[in-house]
């Protein structure tokens, strides 16, 4: 009887493995059957915009927007850069985005380090107060922010836009980094303190390297949010030569309302920097999300 059971055991294991493999195949087929149409719906508008951007105005006027291009031209891109000033707008967006992301993450990481590593009185209240500022709709604050910018002399300056993005993003960035840094074992920082490291050394040499995935994920999100912002650019800036890419695209659409190839070329050009940032930080972005979900 024992021999019979021993003979049946391998066959049962084989059957179980085969059933599991069949379930995985069926779930894989179902997953691809659902995601394939969604992917097509997601990619189709981007492909459509690319086709429009590489067509000439005469081709679009004669055959309509839905037709495939008979020839490829960069006429729309040239017009967007020369007459639409997209190049200057991209530079302005970079001058706003890079300082805003760097300053906000630097201040947020310091605040999160202090709130997560030290017994600060009412630190939970401080953290919730910082986060509560993000719950207000930005539209409610347009007039107060504009008046404040005029009073302190940052109206119609790129510095004013940078300050707004730093202020509005600081609470959320601190909240996310606080949750990540709090999960770092205290034994690591205590060992560094025993070795003679001060607070700034612990912050710079221990906490920041360990928080790199979370910082990279927040940096990618912050870059996308700030680069694509239109509300605060229109609220603070008035000189068109200082407009970022989003505001310049709005002007481009108004000036070339019937030249869809120019508008599409400007939209593609404005989307390239954020796509580059996302793909550059993709590995850190995904690992940051996974680490945050498991701790």
Q: Which among 219, 242, 221 is positioned nearest to 232, based on CA atoms?
A: 242
Q: What separation, in Å, do the N-terminal and C-terminal C-alpha atoms of the chain show?
A: 49
| Domain residue ranges in the chain | 2-43, 84-294
Q: What percent of the chain has pLDDT over 70?
A: 87
* DSSP string for 223-277: HHHHHT--HHHHHH---GGG--HHHHHHHHHHHTTT-HHHHHHHHHHHHHHHHHH
Q: State residue 2's pLDDT score.
A: 46
pLDDT digits over 243-264, tens only?
999 999 998 888 887 788 999 9
Nearest-angstrom CA–CA distance, 60 and 261? 8
- List all residues 6 or more positions away from 198 whose beta carbon is below 8 Å from its beta carbon: none
> Encoding tokens for residue 180?
């990540």
Rounded mean pLDDT of the chain? 85
Return the CATH class of domain 84-294.
mainly alpha
Nearest-angstrom CA–CA distance, 74 and 257? 18
Give CA separation, 11 vs 19, 25, 42, 261, in Å: 12, 21, 46, 65
- What is the arithmetic mean of pLDDT over 45-49? 90
Question: pTM for this one?
Answer: 0.82
pLDDT digits over 66-89, tens only?
888 888 899 899 999 988 889 999
User: Degrees (nearest 5) of the Cα angle 197, 186, 287?
Assistant: 105
Q: State residue 292's pLDDT score.
A: 45
Q: State residue 3's pLDDT score.
A: 47
């Amino acid at each position: 009887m024992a021999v019979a059971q021993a003979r049946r055991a391998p066959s049962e294991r084989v059957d179980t493995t085969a059933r599991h493999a069949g379930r995985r195949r069926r779930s894989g087929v179902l997953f691809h059957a659902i995601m394939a149409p969604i992917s097509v719906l997601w990619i189709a508008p981007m492909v459509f915009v690319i086709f429009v951007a590489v067509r000439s105005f005469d081709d679009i006027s004669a055959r309509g927007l839905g037709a495939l291009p008979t020839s490829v031209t960069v006429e729309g891109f040239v017009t967007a850069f020369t007459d639409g000033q997209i190049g200057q707008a991209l530079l302005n967006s970079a001058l706003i985005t890079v300082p805003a992301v760097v300053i906000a993450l630097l201040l947020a990481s310091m605040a999160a380090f202090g709130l997560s590593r030290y017994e600060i009185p009412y630190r939970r209240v401080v953290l919730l107060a910082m986060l509560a500022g993000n719950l207000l709709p930005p539209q409610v604050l347009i007039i107060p922010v504009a008046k404040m910018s005029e009073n302190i002399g940052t109206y119609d300056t790129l510095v004013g836009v940078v300050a707004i993005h730093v202020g509005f993003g600081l609470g959320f960035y601190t909240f996310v980094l606080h949750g990540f840094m709090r999960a770092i074992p205290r034994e690591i920082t205590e060992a560094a303190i025993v070795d003679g490291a001060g607070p700034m050394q612990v912050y710079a040499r221990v906490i920041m390297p360990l928080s790199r995935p979370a910082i990279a994920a927040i940096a990618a999100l912050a870059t996308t949010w700030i680069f694509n912002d239109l509300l605060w650019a229109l609220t603070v800036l008035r000189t068109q030569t200082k407009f970022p890419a989003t505001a310049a695209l709005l002007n481009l659409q108004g000036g070339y309302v019937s030249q869809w190839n120019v508008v599409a070329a400007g939209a593609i050009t404005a989307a390239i920097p954020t796509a580059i940032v996302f793909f550059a930080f993709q590995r850190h972005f995904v690992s940051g999300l996974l680490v945050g979900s498991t701790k």
